[in-house]
Amino acid sequence: MNREKSNIYIECLDHTVSGEKFKLYKDRDHDMLVTIPRPDENSLGKYYESEDYISHTDAKRTVFEKTYHLVKKYSLNKKVKLISKLHQGTGTLLDIGAGTGDFLIEANKKHWQVIGIEPNEQARALAKEKGIVLEPDATKLSSNSFDIITMWHVLEHVPDLSAQIKELKRLLKPGGHLIIAVPNFKSYDALYYKSFWAAYDVPRHLWHFSKNSMKTLFEKEGMMLEKTKPLLFDSFYVSLLSEKYKNGKMNFAKAIWIGLLSNIKGKRSKEYSSHIYILKSL
């Protein structure tokens, strides 16, 4: 058997912007998938140039977008409660991939000292209109500065994974916590929708993680996995988009059923559509 073909896990289209085809290769050493070909950093930005890329806008044009923002508001409160409980109060918070700044705004209301990183210029402009200034990168930030660092569905986007993990270790205080949310390609909804699974989102998602890969990658840099939690709403959101990619329209009833089934199966298998990983810097 051709070795290259044996390492291909699945082939997917970019359903959001380009319509181009990409392959997901198995990284057997880390139990993860890698998007190939990977756009270089100069061309990667064009794959985000879409009005449908919802995390860079505050659009509420459709039922889907309105529902997204309702769930987002609920999730923001849950996220702030999570960091406050984890740190037993307030402290210094860095949010990487801050989008339009809503999480940091809510955390600041609870007296967290907040800084956000967001490379997208349009998203930074929207955040500035809300009164929060985001940095384009973390190069000016001091080492050992933060009690909590969060990356909500961001790690899968970073071009240099190894360098990013090292940078997270540098920025965290000893004993500080890292909270990362990423999709899980071993979930039921991923297995059901196959190449149409919206959370593959190639080529914006360059890496596709499992629980094993998250544990292995971060332990190498002295960050221990303390806890894994499910993101239960993600299975519904992802299934809605997957229905659109597969059938040309959002079948709400079917998507809700697949999302619910994924969560039910996840309760037994511990493989949910997305997970939150809580890691501690040693």
33-69: pLDDT as tens digits: 999 999 988 899 899 887 655 455 555 566 556 666 6
251: containing domain: 3-281
How confident is the prediction for the chain on average, in pLDDT?
A: 92
* pTM, full prediction: 0.92
User: pLDDT class for 2, splitting at 50, 70, 90?
Assistant: very low
Q: Two tokens at 149?
A: 């660092």
174-186: pLDDT as tens digits: 999 999 999 999 9
Length of the chain: 282
Task: State residue 188's pLDDT score.
Answer: 98
Is residue 72 within 8 Å of 61, Cβ to Cβ?
A: no
Cα separation, 107 vs 84, in Å, equals 9
Cα separation, 17 vs 20, in Å, equals 8
71-115: pLDDT as tens digits: 777 889 999 999 999 998 899 999 999 999 999 999 999 999 999
Q: At what angle do helices 234-247 and 63-87 cross, to 10 degrees?
A: 150
Strand partners, 35: 24
Q: Domain count of the chain?
A: 1
Q: What is the average pLDDT across 221-247?
A: 96
Q: Does the pLDDT of residue 143 top 90, yes or no? A: yes
Q: Two tokens at 94?
A: 């860095």
CATH number at residue 9: 3.40.50.150
